[in-house]
Structure 1
Amino acid sequence: MDILIWGGVALTLGGVALLVYCIMAALKAKKAGGTDEEIRARLQKVVALNLVALLVSAMGLGAVTIGIILG
């Protein structure tokens, strides 16, 4: 069960790192300026990556929980 727990921890940390990257990318997109449409296009790409990051984090937390319950 240790592999499941530590794998889940790695997934969770990877997801959190992606979330931090999304925050930085969104701030950079807003600071870069431009028209509303250009900013919206940049932020739409960040939103897709943000959803992936949340999914990865949730899967990691689920793996940790299952590992703890089974262990």
Structure 2
Amino acid sequence: MAALIWVGAALTAVGLTGLIICIIVAARARASGLEGVEMETRLRKLVALNLGALAVSALGLMCVVIGVLLG
């Protein structure tokens, strides 16, 4: 079960990295002064990345919890 915990921790780290990237991209878009359609287009692409990173992070946390409970 230790392997499941480490795999879960790695997935969580990947998901958190994706979330940090989303924050950085959104902050840069805001700082660049984009407005209207350009900002909406950039943020629409970012939503997909954000949801994917959140899902990966959640799956990793589930793996950690299952590994701890079974181990």
State the TM-score bracket (shorter-chain normalisation): over 0.9
CA RMSD of aligned residues (A): 0.8
* Unmatched segments (≥5 aa) in structure 2: none
* Unmatched segments (≥5 aa) in structure 1: none
Task: Return the alpha-carbon distance in structure 2 between the equivalents of residues 58 and 67 of structure 1.
Answer: 14
Aligned length: 71
Name the structure 1 match of 2:41: 41
TM-score, structure 1 normalization: 0.95
**Counterparts of 1:1-71 in structure 2 under 5 Å?**
1-71=1-71
One-letter code aligned to 1:15: G
What CA deviation, in whole Å up to 9, does each residue of 1:9-29 have, x standing for no partner?
Answer: 000011001000000000111
Name segments (4+ residues, structure 1) moved above 2 Å. Answer: none
Tell me the percent identity: 51
